[in-house]
Amino acid sequence: MTKTPVIAIFDVGKTNKKLLLFDDQYRLVHEESRQMEEIKDEDGFPCEDVVALTKWVNESFIRMTNDKRFDIKAVNFSAYGASFVFLKKDLKVIPPLYNYLKPYPAELQKKFYDDYGGESLVARQTASPVLGNLNSGLQLYRLKYQKPEIFEQIKWALHLPQYLSFILSSTINSDITSIGCHTTLWNFHQNKYHKWVKQEGIDKILPAIRTPNEVSGNADSNVPVGVGLHDSSAALIPYLVSFNEPFVLLSTGTWCITLNPFNHAQLTNNELNQDCLCFLSYESKPVKAARLFAGYDHEQQVKRLSLHFGKSNDYFTSVSCDAQLLNKVKRSAKAGRKTSDRTMMSQSAFAERSLDTFRNYEEAYHQLIADIISQQVKSTNLVLKGTGVKKIFVDGGFGKNAIYMHLLAKAFSSIEVYAASVAQASALGAALAIHQHWNSKPLPTHIIDLKLYTVSKNPVI
């Protein structure tokens, strides 16, 4: 039996941990997923079980290298950001792996920003909105001042993707995509660590920076091991290798994040206040992003609709796109409340609408999507204008929603709007990042499925 040459990718999310195998045409040939029970840190706050995670990576890799169906040619990692794993001098883990959702001490946060020029200045310099523990650099700052007995034990602080790489390669690295995503560590104006990192001695526990297209070492079976990437940066890679002209990627899920890799302008205070940020691509280039909590809003409002109209929670998936309703909601949407400058993280206007004004679920649902689009247009425009963008690619849940897509296409009538589908985008991106180290074939040209939405008087599914 001939083994299929593959690259193994560990794609570690907050909820699902996946092991995926791609062949040399980047077709997904194997996938397995598991969920892990959270444990609690010393303060009783839920956190990732780093010991269980480590065991899963080791055991899964050994099992797949012994699988007679596959020939593992390389391995890489994509994982959620804003999370550090700490190692002692003997390279043993210092638990826990703190949860980035844990509330940050208000007094300590105030001290940090007061010492280094204020929230506005530091946020602009580091392209990082003030997000507490989501600014992973501040996790190190907290340990230094509130847990010095732990901080003094730390020889190395690795972001989670690089720790996953360490498990199999035993090499210590930092990665620019993990450092450059709302960590408050990187000065985007000077293209180096912010001054506070050295002044606080944090630089001494941060390893040398490697680029995501390098390999950090080899696993026991002499398999090249990638450095690992932050998952948002990894998910952008399939688009960057497929398209040359300016585009934005609207990644939709709980958060709807507009990513513009062709917008390199520095963040303004106004953009930061509206939840914009920058992160660094796998090519070390700034990518401006705008976030909107639209997926969560949709989830909450659908529950409200289901209760009011006596429908199931997933009834919205059966609602067809109706041209007459689209025209009607367009008029009534204008009558809704105006969005303020700080609505990017808040609910849409639909939350304030009385459901008694709608004849049925279908009419109300069209209005919900129209109100979400009203916010989405404002959010996307924050990073879109002035960059010559020709295409908008929408992936994730809303990309499958014809009402959403038709309204978005109408709102951006001068730009081509596509529903885009990439199987396991972040994992695929991690595989593509180290293509040269395992795959002698040219990059495939058709790794993204596209459906164009055009402005039409009679949109139908």
Superfamily of domain 231-461: ATPase, nucleotide binding domain (3.30.420.40)
Q: The pTM is what? A: 0.85
Q: What is the pLDDT of residues 256-311, one digit of tens each?
A: 989 999 998 888 888 888 888 898 999 988 999 998 889 989 999 999 999 999 99
Q: Which pLDDT score, from 0 to 100, does residue 232 have?
A: 86
User: Which residue(s) pair with 6 in the sheet?
Assistant: 23, 72
Domain-wise residue ranges, the chain: 4-227, 231-461
The reply to whether 231-461 shares the fold of 4-227 is yes
The model's confidence at residue 329, banded by pLDDT at 50, 70 and 90, is confident
Question: In this prediction, what percent of the chain has a pLDDT beyond 70?
Answer: 95
The model's confidence at residue 116, banded by pLDDT at 50, 70 and 90, is very high
Supply the mean pLDDT for the chain.
92
Mean pLDDT in residue range 195-204: 98
16-30, 255-269, 294-308, 324-338: segment of lowest average pLDDT: 324-338
Write down the architecture of domain 4-227 according to CATH.
Answer: 2-Layer Sandwich (3.30)
71-80, 184-193, 276-285, 352-361: segment of lowest average pLDDT: 276-285
Structure tokens at 272: 């930061």
3-state SS, the chain, equals: CCCEEEEEEEEECCCEEEEEEEECCCCEEEEEEEECCCEECCCCCEEECHHHHHHHHHHHHHHHHCCCCEEEEEEEEEECCCCEEEECCCCCEECCECCCCCCCCHHHHHHHHHHCCCHHHHHHHHCCCCCHHHCHHHHHHHHHHHCHHHHCCCCEEEEHHHHHHHHHHCCCCEEHHHHCCCCCCEECCCCEECHHHHHCCHHHHCCCEECCCCEEEECCCCCEEECCEEHHHHHHHHHHHHCCCCEEEEEECCCEEEEECCCCCCCCHHHHHCCEEEEECCCCCEEEEEEECHHHHHHHHHHHHHHHHCCCCCHHHHCCCCHHHHHHHHHHHHHCCCCCCCCCCCCCHHHHCCHHHCCCHHHHHHHHHHHHHHHHHHHHHHHHCCCCCCEEEEEEHHHHCHHHHHHHHHHCCCCEEEEEECCCHHHHHHHHHCHHHCCCCCCCCCCCEEEEECCCCCCCC
Q: Which pLDDT score, from 0 to 100, does residue 392 have?
A: 97
Mean pLDDT in residue range 161-185: 96
